[in-house]
């Protein structure tokens, strides 16, 4: 997985909350506004930083969203819907398997959380103080677009 893919995963997480509330609300927003909106919603206590607890809540939300069968693990069964047109999902289509540490094609919450923390959160947390600021998110996104 290259950094661009990691950035895509990150933006999914940050933006997911904003999208869940109102599917139409994104259309008139710039990327920057989407990030700001997602950040504000991820910042549960509104103190201007996303602390590790809030990060964990976001990752948990994202995991639950992917886990469509609700059995607590992400498997091929969680990939269904019109985008697959009735075809079984292939291993290559399952981007989340990047995080499958033990390579059993089943993604546990622990695997997902460790993976996002290591590949996204640690990189985004530029000053390595454990909390993410809006400036760090924006800087991270800008770096990915270069």
Report the nearest approach of Ca ion to the CB of residue 88 (Å): 15
Closer residue to Ca ion in complex, CB, 26/65 = 65
The C-alpha angle 21, 65, 110, rounded to 5 degrees, equals 130
Q: How far is the CB of 117 from Ca ion (least distance, A)?
A: 16
**DSSP characters for the chain?**
--HHHHHHHHHHHHHHHHHHH-TTTTTT--HHHHHHHHHHHH-TT-SSEE-HHHHHHHHHHHHHHH-TT-SSEE-GGG--SGGGTTPPPPGGG-GGGGG-TT-SS-EEHHHHHHHHIIIIIHHH-TT-SS-EEHHHHHHHHHHHH-
The residue sitting closest to Ca ion, measured at its beta carbon, is 69
Q: Which is nearer to Ca ion, 31 or 47 (CB)?
A: 47
**Residue 67 Cα to chain centre, angstroms:** 13
Q: CB nearer to Ca ion: give 10 or 115.
A: 115
Chain positions contacting Ca ion, by CB under 5 A: 43, 45, 47, 67, 69, 71, 78, 100, 102, 104, 106
Compute the least distance from the CB of residue 51 to Ca ion, in Å.
5
| Of residues 20 and 64, the one with the C-beta less far from Ca ion | 64
Q: How far is the CB of 107 from Ca ion (least distance, A)?
A: 6
Smallest gap, in angstroms, from Cβ of residue 145 to Ca ion? Answer: 26
Q: In terms of CB distance, is 41 or 67 closer to Ca ion?
A: 67
């Amino acid at each position: 997985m290259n950094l661009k893919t990691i950035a895509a995963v990150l933006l999914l997480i940050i933006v997911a909350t904003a999208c869940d509330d109102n599917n139409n609300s994104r259309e008139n927003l710039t990327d920057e506004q989407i990030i700001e909106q997602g950040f504000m919603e991820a910042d549960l206590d509104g103190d201007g930083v996303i602390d590790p607890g809030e990060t964990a809540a976001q990752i948990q939300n994202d995991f639950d969203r992917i886990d469509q069968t609700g059995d607590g693990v992400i498997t091929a069964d969680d990939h269904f819907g019109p985008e697959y047109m009735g075809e079984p999902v292939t291993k290559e289509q399952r981007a989340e398997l990047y995080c499958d540490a033990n390579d059993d094609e089943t993604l546990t919450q622990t695997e997902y959380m460790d993976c996002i923390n290591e590949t996204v959160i640690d990189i985004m947390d530029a000053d390595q103080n454990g909390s993410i600021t809006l400036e760090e998110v924006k800087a991270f996104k800008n770096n990915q677009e270069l």
